[in-house]
Chains A and B, each alone.
Chain A
Amino acid sequence: DAGVIQSPRHEVTEMGQEVTLRCKPISGHNSLFWYRQTMMRGLELLIYFNNNVPIDDSGMPEDRFSAKMPNASFSTLKIQPSEPRDSAVYFCASSPPGQLNQPQHFGDGTRLSIL
């Protein structure tokens, strides 16, 4: 079974450039989460979607960050303009529908380095 698929796996770019991270959730899952992982702050939730609608974006650090989910099988996280402090591993996760809390399934992340 295909898990959550993220691309690219690695991204190195210069500050000021636009960065777009992509995620394909598991088929049938209706919730999608974007996380950022750093040594200092651990795993932080940036934004999550339910049925393609953004529910809570309070974790998005600045207006330079934006996320979209145009359909049930695709989401993007965009940083424009990028800064060195944005360097981190970005994870996408998805979970299935259900009345109770459902397990989140993570992709293998995008390691982002901003020079």
Chain B
Amino acid sequence: GENVEQHPSTLSVQEGDSAVIKCTYSDSASNYFPWYKQELGKGPQLIIDIRSNVGEKKDQRIAVTLNKTAKHFSLHITETQPEDSAVYFCAASIGSGYSTLTFGKGTMLLVSP
């Protein structure tokens, strides 16, 4: 089955800096890659996703890049703010229609003012 590795497990940055979280996946058939943000006591919330037919997607301060050849994808957060502090999860999915996700182990991001 699919295996998703996520690095780093923790990341501390200063407010205003950029943060990058990287994930690799094992199954070349994976074609959908969402990123989730989980705040304390809450469920994971989708923040951005990318499909295998594009290499990059941006939404304001958040961007995701995908390298299908190398089977890795990354989340980039620019101009970080304290409210960006949370646990971030990457995931990969194979197939279409109703899809199951394989999640990475998560990255705890701490943004210090």
Contacts and interface: CB of A to CB of B under 8 A. Distances in A.
A41 to B, nearest CB: 9
Interface stretch (A11-19, A66-74, A92-100): A92-100
Interface residues of A, number: 27
B89 to A, nearest CB: 7
Interface string B98-111: 11111111100000
A106 B32 CA distance: 17
A42 B103 contact: yes
Contact of A48 (B36, B42, B51, B98): B98
A102 B42 CA distance: 21
A112 to B, nearest CB: 14
B100 A100 contact: no
Interface of A: 4, 30-31, 33, 42-43, 45, 48, 50, 55-56, 91, 93, 95, 97-109
